[in-house]
Structures are given as structure tokens and as C-alpha cells.
Amino acid sequence: MSFLDRLRGLFGGTAANGGPQMISCDDALKLVHEYLDGELENVSQAEVEAHFDACQRCYPHLRLERSFRQAVRRVASRETAPPELAARLRELIAEVGSEG
């Protein structure tokens, strides 16, 4: 995608190469969590990705969210539930499973 295609996309145009139309900065920032979770509904992953690839204003927000999620995963991977809580959760899951 050329620089001009990216600019057109940022302002509502369609990419000349037939690629995804770019969404606005406001939309991209509102959808960053759904994008990272792979749970977009009314817009494609490609549209949001195209915006973050082209927009120097929004890309740092995406990087921050990715870094934050990685840090949370690292910390959470070191934590375990207390044995009593784990046992109680297994009991509740078994109860729910036997009701179905």
C-alpha cells in the first residue's frame, strides 16, 4: 500500500489496490481490545490492522495494550489459586456438570 493509499484510507477512502478501507482513529482506538482478542463484530481484523499499520498516532496505543497484556500474562503465570479455592471450584464445576 502506498503512502497516498494510506492517507486516503485515513480520511475514509478505499485503498486503490482493493485492500481494506481504513477506519478512523476514534474507531481504531475504541476497537483495540476487540482487535487484540480477535472478537471484532462489525469491522474486519484487516480494516483495524490496516489502520494501526498506517497511523503513527494510533500505533503506540496498540503497542501499549500489547505490552500491558504480556506483562499481565507473565505475572499471572506465576500465581496459583490456593488449594481450598481450587478444590471448591472443582466441586462447583462438577455440580454444574451433573445438572446438565
pLDDT tens profile 18-37? 566 779 999 999 999 999 99
The per-residue pLDDT for 76 is 83
Is-contact 27 34, C-beta < 8 A?
no
CA 25 to chain centre: 15
- The length of the chain in residues reads 100
User: Is the pLDDT reported for residue 58 higher than 90?
Assistant: yes
Residues 92, 49: Cα–Cα separation, whole Å: 40
Q: How many domains does the chain have?
A: 1
The per-residue pLDDT for 1 is 47
Structural domain containing residue 46: 3-99
User: Is the pLDDT reported for residue 89 higher than 80?
Assistant: yes
Q: What is the rounded average pLDDT of the residues 47-68?
A: 94
Q: What is the rounded average pLDDT of the residues 72-92?
A: 88
Residues 50, 6: Cα–Cα separation, whole Å: 8
In 3D space, the residue among 32, 36, 31, 11 whose CA is nearest the CA of residue 21 turns out to be: 11
